[in-house]
Homo-oligomer: A and B are copies of this chain.
Amino acid sequence: MVNMENQITDDIREYEHPFVAVDLLLFTISEGKLKVLLVKRGVEPFKGGWALPGGFVRMNESIDDASKRELKEECGVEGVYLEQLYTFGEPNRDPRTRVISVAYYALANSEKWNLRAETDAEEAKLFEVGEIPHLSFDHQEIFDYGIKRLRSKLSYSNIAFGLLPDEFTLTNLQQVYEVILGKKMDKRNFRKWISNIGLLLPTGKMTKNTAHRPAKLYKFKKNQVVFFG
């Protein structure tokens, strides 16, 4: 085997090496369910199959920028919480050639989601996480990993706020936790806990036009330390 370290210094372009892509898990909550955006593939391989949105990393953009670009181009979403998940690099994960994929996950609330008009509705669709179809490539593995990270990180970070509008009620917030963790929580204990965390800021406003008692609206303290994970 030639020494690639020297080779790359001599003539970079002639050396065969893997492609690099980003794949995106875009989570959102709608109709009280946790959903993920999938796209129907328009080209081979797996033409007509469902897959995660994604694309190749260009030479002059960072992988973070590539994922933001794909998020905008393929999902029509901007300015949302985005975090690198894991890098998948089995040699045959793409039948065309060697493609290493850096997976990201993003969290969008329904407000951000309204920006999605530019996406072709025929090719992109939200699926409830419990009901996703067969996925192309190794995207099922990426999905499984992402769900695990999301659930895990929920309990020791503030990512839940990425799925909510700027102002929300404590019930809204609790529902995010319940939907993601897939279990009911006690209202009093939840409120006690979330208040002690110290991330909430009362806005002084209330919900309006409800057919019942109005609820206080809160927002999320910005510039807050996010726990590591």
Contact = CB atoms under 8 A, between A and B. Distances in A.
Question: What bracket does the count of chain A residues touching chain B fall in?
Answer: 35 or more
A19 to B, nearest CB: 5
B8 A56 contact: yes
Contacts of A228: 148-149, 152
Contacts of A89: 20, 57, 62-64, 102
A56 B102 contact: no
Number of copies: 2
A96 B9 CA distance: 7
A44 B82 CA distance: 35
A198 B5 CA distance: 46
A4 interface: yes
Contact of A61 (B56, B91, B149): B91
A8 B58 CA distance: 13
B18 A97 contact: no
Interface in A89-131: 89-91, 96-98, 100, 102
A182 to B, nearest CB: 15
Contacts of A20: 17-18, 20, 89, 100
Nearest to A145: B228
B16 A96 contact: no
Contacts of A91: 59-62
A204 interface: no
A55 interface: yes
Given A13-B16, A84-B87, A152-B229, 17 more contacts: A4-B55, A8-B19, A8-B56, A8-B96, A9-B43, A9-B96, A12-B96, A12-B97, A16-B59, A17-B56, A20-B89, A61-B91, A62-B91, A63-B100, A64-B89, A100-B100, A148-B228
